Amino acid sequence: MFKIAIVSAAGGVGRSTLTASLATLLAQRGISVLALDFDPENLLSTLLGSDEVSLGGLLPDFLTRKAFGMSALVNSNEVACLPFGRSNEASLVTFEQHLRTEPEWLKKCIAQIDYPPGAFLLMDTPRLPSIYARQAMVAADLVLAVLAPDVRSLALLPAVEVALSRCAPGHQPIYVMNGLDSTRALQSDLLAQLRSSLQLRLSPHPIHRDEAIPRAVANQANLQSLSPDSLVAHDLNGLLSWLLAGPASSHDGRTYI
Amino acid sequence: MRHFLLWAARHLGVFRPDQLGQWLRRLIWLPNADELAASTRLEVRSRLDPLGWLAKELGVIDKRSVRQWMLYLFIFPPGRPARTETSFWSTFLALSVHIIGLLFSNVVWILSAGVRALRWLWQRLLSFLPTVNHQAVGRRLEGWLETSSFRKPWLLWLLVLFSIFFFWLVVTTPFTWFGQFLFLVCLWGTALFVRRIPGNLPALILIALSVLASCRYGWWRLTQTIPLDSGWETFLAIGLLLAEIYTWLVLLLGYIQTAWPLKRHTLSLPADVALWPSVDVFIPTYNEPLKVVEPTVLAAKGIDWPSDKLNIYILDDGRRDDFRRFAKEAGVGYIIRPDNAHAKAGNLNHALKLTCGEYVAIFDCDHLPTSSFLQSTMGWFYKDKRCAMLQTPHHFFSPDTFERNLGTFRKVPNEGALFYGLIQDGNDFWNATFFCGSCAVLRRGPLEEVGGVAVETVTEDAHTALKLHRLGYTTAYINIPLAAGLATESLSSHIGQRIRWARGMAQIFRLDNPFLGKGLSFFQRICYGNAMLHFFYGIPRLVFLTAPLTYLYFEVHIINAAAAMLALYVLPHILQANLANAHIQGAHRHSFWAEVYESVLAWYIILPTTLAIFNPGAGKFNVTAKGGLIEHSFFDWAISKPYIVLATLNIVGLSIGLGRLFFWNTFEMGTVLLNLTWTIYNILILGAAIGVATEARQVRVSHRVSANLLVALHFTDGSTKMCRTEDYSMTGLGLILDQELELPVKERVWVSLWNDEVEFAFPTRVIASHGNKLGVQFDNLSIEQEANLVQCTFARPDAWSNWSNEQGADRPLQSLIEIAAFGFKGYRSLWRNLGKGLARQRQLVRGWLGRQVI
Ligand SMILES: Nc1ncnc2c1ncn2[C@@H]1O[C@H](COP(=O)(O)OP(=O)(O)O)[C@@H](O)[C@H]1O
Ligand SMILES: [Mg+2]
């Protein structure tokens, strides 16, 4: 199983959106995929089409000492999703306490999951710095950092690198830009700047800002079938192909760039 | 009557009795069973007045007017709005033109039917023969030459001696008519076999066969066919003979020139960018509008090369302020000089003095380089330190006059295709690549050594290369279109350009004759010599266009031989030359097109070339205007005068010839037939030339290039759509969407294009929206945006690489039919415009008369 953690140092840049979209796209290409929501926000299952916010999930399972992954759901697109589950302050404190004492908890739990070879695991995380994101990065084969096309993302770039090198020394994240408005010269310039500094570690397929995304969420519909000829659908396809052909193709799962 | 008709119809299987054609067909072919069954249900609408019906169908208004019947039956296309007033003269002219047209199409039909029958016979014949694996033969042939026994010098010499002896024998031995016939058949059969073998060796064999046939014909012509009795006849005969000797010579030299096209590929540069040399890009301009020059400069700016080693200069001989401003804005150099001495050559030389890059790349102001231009070319300068010049093809993305007026754009190889597709590659093999003034890179050192660009002649480019070759420098040619531009937009400017080339070549021939002087290898002399001799085709072409007339008009026999014998000798010569050329040039020039291209120019280059030979200093340099627009279709009377005169002469000759065939010269039918065939061929070629003079309207100022590029549309509401381009230009895009989409005109839309992986968005407005097609126009692009646009479109490295994929292969017979059709269309257009011209004339006269009366 190839494990990807989707992280970012800034909030609201589209981590969850990207996780959900990539998971759907993978399933569409006939690749088994599990989307794991490791964010107390507990929104991923909604993005993947569940009607109400999931009550069950990995946190309740942990608290009730059930096996990891028991509450996974499968949507109509064949995407399996393990929600975070409903939480409250007290349960989060207990959980985070446990995570702090056992940095490889998530990694071990994932190792127990019996999944077909060639399957993908996508992990949504809260913004960095975060104990959840740390666990996910430790568990991941590949860390995909999402950047917004603004100066803030640029300034926070080192934060991502530092966080990752602390969890998995010697590893570097790969980057993807989300929410690009290419009609703005400033954003295109920023992209060019990032391209020249990150080079091959930046996906050549930035994801554009596109009304098709909120529209798909509002309609609880699959982006690819709702607006197949939208730019963002094209971008996501490009990103996935690039991932599969490059960063996510190495045999032992680890990328060395 | 009606019952009888119905009865007959049913029995014959005519189920639409109102169609005459079906009756005719049924009288000849029997219907099949189910058609007969269907005919039992037939019904007939009554046609009480067949004449009236016919008149209505044809559009004849006055049923009693014989003239109108003639007109509508034979001339006007059906369904044409009725015309009430036609003069007698126009009827007469129309009739004659039409009858000639009919004759043509009949002749063509008979010919093609004959050929079809022959082909069928041939196929039958072939099916008796054992099949041959041509691939294997090719391999064995080449393996054979590789064997070491062939490498021994004495053996080679022996072979050469033997070949010469054999050649001499074949060329000079007189045959009986039957012997000559066998010779024809043998040669032809061998050629048909050989041309299917892959590789370059068969080309050489075909050339050898062609040379053999042509030399034999030449020998026979020289020794047996010159009438020596009467002065007048001898004079004409020698004229024809000289013209033939000229074509024979050009044919032979051409074979040498293109025997082994080099087909150089690109070489990579050293990986260390620090080792790459500095390059100055010169863009000379004189009077072209900024709109034309701008994209070129922006494309040059985008060339992939270290930016500190790439300097771009606009060399403005027009000294215009808007150019200076643009150069500043675009961040490129701007060079002017006090005078315009020596035109483009002087302009370049002036800039050479002010700049210092190690290499100089030159682009005419309307040739947009692709971004890979330098990286694809500079490698050869690295490999070969003596290389002084590298040329790439001149590629045109707009149709030239021929292509536009005949409608052959991207279907038939254009006039330049032969030179850039084959001849330059052939020259390259002999290290004789010509410099063509644009889309080339020169090494500064050697260029300065020969005193800069040559100024003595009006074709400074070829002359410069000649000087470089004389100093022993090498040159290279890469046959990959790495830059593209606009073709000349009208016939008159095309002719103007060719006159300049012809004059310049004649000047070089006089001033710096490649056959004389030091420094050139034998084959370089031949390549240059042929290029120059080529431009003297004016007089020979005119001779061929009028030669049969001497017999048809005056009964002068300028070839003193029996018609059958002449046919037997000339046929192998023509046939083998055509077969060899179709094999060598087929992809770059379709059969018989050379005749059209040359006939259009022949008249016009006679004077300049002749003058230049006698007085090379006379005349001045004229600049080719480009980027223009032909607003209305029109017929260029001024230019087409020579073709009309020649065509009229030939048509009259044809009518006289018909008289000779049937009444006056029935005792020498062969001779008459031979001359008639020749005249008909001339009439066809001239018709095509007249067709070229019908200037088709040019709709757009900036030419649209069809291409299938990925595009994203960004709408104002934040949604997007992917689609593809149908065509692009500097001003807008034509787009095709997957689904229908209605957008209001003037709606703002942003359009993204990609250059490799980098996206650029451009503001546009919708100008047309129909179904799934969308037209958008760019909306006030900044210079930077324009530069990006050029990089995403015209300057893409692969922008021109698949250009000629849609071109059909050369099929000589089809080519002939095609040209015949163009010839016919040419006469039709001539006739139509004649009518218009006459009407205008008459109106003028009437107006004048009216004024007189008052
Ligand atoms: N490419 C996009 N185009 C348009 N809206 C987007 C895009 N990506 C994300 N969004 C919107 O941005 C908001 C934040 O996205 P989300 O995935 O929840 O971010 P995060 O998980 O990083 O906090 C959501 O409303 C989402 O619909
Ligand atoms: Mg989120």
Instruction: Determine whether B461 is an active site residue.
Output: yes
Q: Flag whether A256 is in a domain.
A: no
* Ligand 1 centroid to residue A14 C-alpha, Å: 4
Indicate whether B80 pLDDT > 60: no
**Nearest ligand, CA A146:** 1
CA distance linking residue A59 with residue A40, whole number of Å: 9
pLDDT, average across residues B581-593? 88
Candidates B740, B759, B776, B782: best to mutate against A (most CBs of A within 10 A) is B759
CA distance linking residue B757 with residue B414, whole number of Å: 34
Ligand 1, residues A39, A213, A224, A230: which to mutate, most atoms within 8 A of Cβ?
A213
* Subunit contact B739:A229, Cβ cutoff 8 A: yes
* Subunit contact A212:B719, Cβ cutoff 8 A: yes
The percent of residues above 70 in pLDDT, for chain A, comes to 97
Side-chain-side CA neighbours of residue B321 (13 Å) = 0
Does residue B578 or residue B147 have the better pLDDT?
B578
Q: Does B760 touch chain A (CB under 8 A)?
A: yes
Q: Flag whether A160 is in a domain.
A: yes
Torsion sign over Cα B743, B744, B750, B753 = positive
Question: What region does B178 belong to: left with phi over 0, alpha with psi -120 to 50, or beta?
Answer: alpha
* Helix H or strand E encompassing B369: strand B367-369
Burial class, A108, CB count within 10 angstroms (exposed 0-12 / middle 13-18 / buried 19+): exposed
Q: Flag whether A36 is in a domain.
A: yes
CA distance linking residue B449 with residue B443, whole number of Å: 10
pLDDT digits (tens, 9 = 90+) for A113-137: 888 888 999 999 999 889 999 999 9
Please tell me the distance in Å from B155's CA to the nearest CA on chain A.
59
Does residue B541 or residue B174 have the better pLDDT?
B541
For residue B602, give Cα distances in angstroms to B307, B539, B642, B706. Answer: 47, 7, 9, 33
CA distance linking residue B798 with residue B129, whole number of Å: 46
pLDDT band per the 50, 70, 90 thresholds, residue B419: very high
Please tell me the distance in Å from A243's CA to the nearest CA on chain B.
15
CATH number of residue A240's parent domain = 3.40.50.300
pLDDT band per the 50, 70, 90 thresholds, residue B728: very high
* Subunit contact B718:A210, Cβ cutoff 8 A: yes
Which fold does the domain B277-487 belong to in CATH?
Spore Coat Polysaccharide Biosynthesis Protein SpsA; Chain A (3.90.550)
* Cis status, amide bond into B763, omega within 30 of 0: no
Q: Does B759 touch chain A (CB under 8 A)?
A: yes
Q: Does B756 touch chain A (CB under 8 A)?
A: no
Closest atom of ligand 1 to A12 CA is: 23
Q: Which residues of B touch A235 (CB under 8 A)?
A: none
pLDDT, average across residues B434-455? 95
pLDDT on residue B298: 96
* Helix H or strand E encompassing B391: strand B387-391
pLDDT digits (tens, 9 = 90+) for B689-708: 998 888 776 655 568 899 99
Which one of B280, B400, B461, B636 is the catalytic residue? B461
pLDDT on residue A72: 86
Please tell me the distance in Å from B303's CA to the nearest CA on chain A.
18
Q: Which residues of A touch B714 (CB under 8 A)?
A: 182-183, 231
Side-chain-side CA neighbours of residue B5 (13 Å) = 16
**Nearest ligand, CA A37:** 2
* Subunit contact A231:B721, Cβ cutoff 8 A: yes
DSSP state letter for B273: G
Please tell me the distance in Å from B9's CA to the nearest CA on chain A.
58
pLDDT, average across residues B275-292? 93
Candidates B717, B722, B736, B784: best to mutate against A (most CBs of A within 10 A) is B722
* Ligand 1 centroid to residue A214 C-alpha, Å: 8
Q: Flag whether A38 is in a domain.
A: yes
Question: What region does B478 belong to: left with phi over 0, alpha with psi -120 to 50, or beta?
Answer: beta
- List of residues 6+ apart from A187 with CB closer than 8 A: A149, A150, A180, A181
Q: Which residues of B touch A230 (CB under 8 A)?
A: 719-722
Q: Flag whether A100 is in a domain.
A: yes
pLDDT, average across residues B75-83? 50
Indicate whether B575 pLDDT > 50: yes
* Subunit contact B720:A192, Cβ cutoff 8 A: no
* Helix H or strand E encompassing A96: helix A89-101
Q: Which of B495, B434, B493, B440 is nearest to B287 (CA)?
A: B493
pLDDT, average across residues A219-226? 85
> Which residue shows structure tokens 């082909």?
B119
CA distance linking residue B324 with residue B302, whole number of Å: 20
DSSP-assigned states of every residue in B640-673: HHHHHHHHHHHHHHHHHHHHIIIII-GGGHHHHH
Q: Which of A194, A20, A210, A34 is nearest to A110 (CA)?
A: A34
Cα B495 from chain centre? 13
Pick the range with the lowest mean pLDDT from B124-133, B333-342, B759-768, B819-828.
B124-133
| Angle between the N-to-C axes of helices B538-554 and B669-692, in degrees from 0 to 180, rounded to the nearest 10 | 140
Please tell me the distance in Å from A179's CA to the nearest CA on chain B.
11
pLDDT on residue B47: 45
What phi and psi, each to the nearest 5 degrees, are found at residue B656? Answer: -60, -40
* Ligand 1 centroid to residue A20 C-alpha, Å: 11
> Which residue shows structure tokens 């937009």?
B489
CA distance linking residue B831 with residue B606, whole number of Å: 28
What phi and psi, each to the nearest 5 degrees, are found at residue A24? Answer: -60, -45
pLDDT, average across residues A15-31? 93
Question: How many Cβ atoms sit within 10 Å of the Cβ of residue B730?
Answer: 22
Chain A, residues 171-200, CB within 8 A of chain B, namely: 182-183, 188, 192, 195
N-terminal to C-terminal alpha carbon distance within chain A: 20
CA distance linking residue B738 with residue B758, whole number of Å: 24
* Subunit contact A229:B722, Cβ cutoff 8 A: yes
pLDDT, average across residues B653-664? 91
pLDDT digits (tens, 9 = 90+) for B219-228: 998 888 887 7
Contact B296, B790 (CB under 8 A): no
CA distance linking residue B417 with residue B423, whole number of Å: 9
Q: Which of B710, B708, B706, B714 is nearest to B723 (CA)?
A: B710
* Subunit contact B721:A230, Cβ cutoff 8 A: yes
CA distance linking residue A126 with residue A38, whole number of Å: 7
For the record, the structure tokens of B748 come out as 């703002």
Q: Flag whether A77 is in a domain.
A: yes
* Ligand 1 centroid to residue A45 C-alpha, Å: 15
DSSP state letter for B270: P
DSSP-assigned states of every residue in A21-44: HHHHHHHHTT--EEEEE-STT--H
- CA-nearest residue for atom 3, ligand 1, is A209
Q: Which residues of B touch A209 (CB under 8 A)?
A: 718
Contact B60, B49 (CB under 8 A): no
Does residue B752 or residue B42 have the better pLDDT?
B752
CA distance linking residue B271 with residue B424, whole number of Å: 30
Closest atom of ligand 1 to A20 CA is: 17
Mean pLDDT of chain A: 89
Indicate whether A21 pLDDT > 50: yes
Q: Which of A214, A217, A194 is nearest to A204 (CA)?
A: A194
pLDDT, average across residues B258-264? 89
Superfamily for the B708-792 domain: predicted glycosyltransferase like domains (2.40.10.220)
What phi and psi, each to the nearest 5 degrees, are found at residue B167? Answer: -60, -50
CA distance linking residue A42 with residue A87, whole number of Å: 9
CA distance linking residue B250 with residue B594, whole number of Å: 13
pLDDT band per the 50, 70, 90 thresholds, residue B625: very low
pLDDT on residue A257: 38
DSSP-assigned states of every residue in B341-361: TTHHHHHHHHHHHH---SEEE
For the record, the structure tokens of B432 come out as 């004789």
Pick the range with the lowest mean pLDDT from B57-71, B504-518, B671-685, B691-705.
B57-71
Number of structural domains chain A divides into = 1
pLDDT, average across residues B356-375? 95
Residue of B nearest to A212 (CA): B719
* Subunit contact B759:A210, Cβ cutoff 8 A: no
Q: Which of B188, B221, B183 is nearest to B206 (CA)?
A: B188
- List of residues 6+ apart from A164 with CB closer than 8 A: A137, A143, A171, A172, A173
Q: Which of B345-359, B503-517, B605-619 has the highest mean pLDDT?
A: B345-359
Contact B227, B560 (CB under 8 A): yes
Q: Flag whether A29 is in a domain.
A: yes
Residue of A nearest to B782 (CA): A185
Does residue B757 or residue A145 have the better pLDDT?
A145
Please tell me the distance in Å from A97's CA to the nearest CA on chain B.
44
Mean pLDDT of chain B: 85
Indicate whether B207 pLDDT > 70: yes
pLDDT, average across residues B114-127? 84
Q: Flag whether A257 is in a domain.
A: no
For the record, the structure tokens of B765 come out as 């407005």
Contact A19, A35 (CB under 8 A): yes
Secondary-structure percent of chain A, ordered helix, strand, coil, rounded to 5: 45, 15, 40
**Nearest ligand, CA A10:** 1
Candidates A176, A183, A242: best to mutate against B (most CBs of B within 10 A) is A183
- Smallest Cβ–Cβ distance between B752 and the set A182, A212, A215 belongs to A182
Question: How many Cβ atoms sit within 10 Å of the Cβ of residue B4?
Answer: 8
For the record, the structure tokens of B650 come out as 């030939």
Q: Which of B600, B526, B659 is nearest to B257 (CA)?
A: B526
Contact B739, B692 (CB under 8 A): no
Q: Which residues of A touch B758 (CB under 8 A)?
A: 192, 195
ipTM field: 0.91
Size of interface A-B (CB pairs under 8 A): 51
Torsion sign over Cα A42, A46, A48, A54 = positive
Domain that holds residue A234: 2-250
DSSP-assigned states of every residue in B123-187: HHHHHHSPP--HHHHHHHHHHHHHSGGGG-HHHHHHHHHHHHHHHHHHHH----HHHHHHHHHHH
* Ligand 1 centroid to residue A210 C-alpha, Å: 10
The count of residues in chain A is: 257
Residue of A nearest to B721 (CA): A230
* Subunit contact A230:B760, Cβ cutoff 8 A: no
CA distance linking residue B519 with residue B532, whole number of Å: 18
* Subunit contact B712:A183, Cβ cutoff 8 A: no
Instruction: Determine whether B779 is an active site residue.
Output: no
